[in-house]
Amino acid sequence: MKQNTLFLIKPDATGRNEIGQILSKVEENGFEIEKLKMFKMDEELANKFYAEHVGKPFFASLSEFMRSGKIVGAMLSREDAVLKLRELVGNTDSTKANLGSIRAVHGTSKGENSVHASDSIESAKREIGLIFPE
């Protein structure tokens, strides 16, 4: 079934001018870019976007990292978009991500892993609403 999912290019990757390479990889893998924007995350959005992680030991560094530079947000569509994008993105820890996955190529650690992908259809709906409220 055709689905929408939410994709972010995080500040480590935008800061290295890797936006084009990453979006190319996404398009080459059958995803259609339905919506696209460049923005910065503030504290309020970080708290909402990563609500499930508020209070965890890594949350402060995650929030600081996500507020440290430009983010590209994209709503993507494809058959089985949620699962297929998670596969393309790879393991949370870039050093453990499958060869060829975006995190293996671009990410440098578990925190600075270059991209975000929604983990379920419900998360996708929630995250699309947060990033593209219009």
44 vs 134 by CB, closer to ligand IDP: 44
121 binds, among Mg ion, ligand IDP, none (CB under 5 to 8 A by kind): none
Both tokens assigned to 25: 């990889």
Is 106 noted as a catalytic residue in this protein?
no
* Alpha carbon distance 116, 103 (integer Å): 9
Q: Closest distance between ligand IDP and the C-beta of residue 62, in Å?
A: 4
125 binds, among ligand IDP, Mg ion, none (CB under 5 to 8 A by kind): none
According to DSSP, the β-strands at 32-39 and 115-117 are unpaired
Both tokens assigned to 100: 């060829």
Specify whether the CB–CB gap between 82 and 5 falls below 8 A.
Answer: yes
Closest to 132 measured CA to CA, from 83, 75, 67, 94: 75
113 binds, among Mg ion, ligand IDP, none (CB under 5 to 8 A by kind): ligand IDP
Query: Which residues make up the interface to ligand IDP (CB under 6 A)?
Result: 53, 58, 62, 92, 110-111, 113, 116, 119
116 binds, among Mg ion, ligand IDP, none (CB under 5 to 8 A by kind): ligand IDP
Stretch that binds Mg ion, among 6-14, 20-28, 97-105, 119-127 (CB under 5 A): 119-127
Q: Closest distance between ligand IDP and the C-beta of residue 57, in Å?
A: 7
* Alpha carbon distance 25, 88 (integer Å): 9
Q: Which residues lie below 8 Å from residue 100, measured CB to CB, with a gap of 6+? A: none
Residues annotated as part of the active site: 116
Residue ranges in contact with Mg ion by CB under 5 A = 119
